[in-house]
Amino acid sequence: MACYSVSVKNRSEFLQLIRSRDPEMLIEMANCVLDAIDRDQKEVDILLVKFQTGEGMVISAIESNYKTFLNKCKEDLILIEEYEMCAKIQKALNKIDK
């Protein structure tokens, strides 16, 4: 089961949501990856997208992408001054680099 779930009208609305870099969504997805790192999971479902048509998709992150994903999240979270979350991410990045 994905850590974060969104319901959107269509793919266009989904892409708009992703481009908006919604802080709540970023934090939840980052927390999901942080938990996966703590649990030594090789893959984690970070986002469940439900469309009004009844279709859906799950976006997953694999271990080799955790670092890139967290760095991108950290960059966005710095812009909105979510420093506590940035510190958690940096701690995990340091763990990955060891």
- Ordered per-residue pLDDT tens for the chain, 98 residues: 678 899 999 999 999 988 998 899 999 999 999 999 999 999 999 999 999 999 999 999 999 999 999 999 999 999 999 999 999 999 999 988 87
Q: In this structure, are strands 43-51 and 4-8 parallel, antiparallel, or unpaired?
A: parallel
8-state DSSP, 45: E
Q: For position 96, what pLDDT does the model report?
A: 87
Q: For position 97, what pLDDT does the model report?
A: 82
Q: For position 15, what pLDDT does the model report?
A: 92
Residue 22, SS3? coil
Ordered by start, the domain boundaries in the chain are 4-97
State both tokens at 59. Answer: 């976006």
Q: For position 31, what pLDDT does the model report?
A: 95
Cα 24 from Cα 53, distance rounded (Å): 25
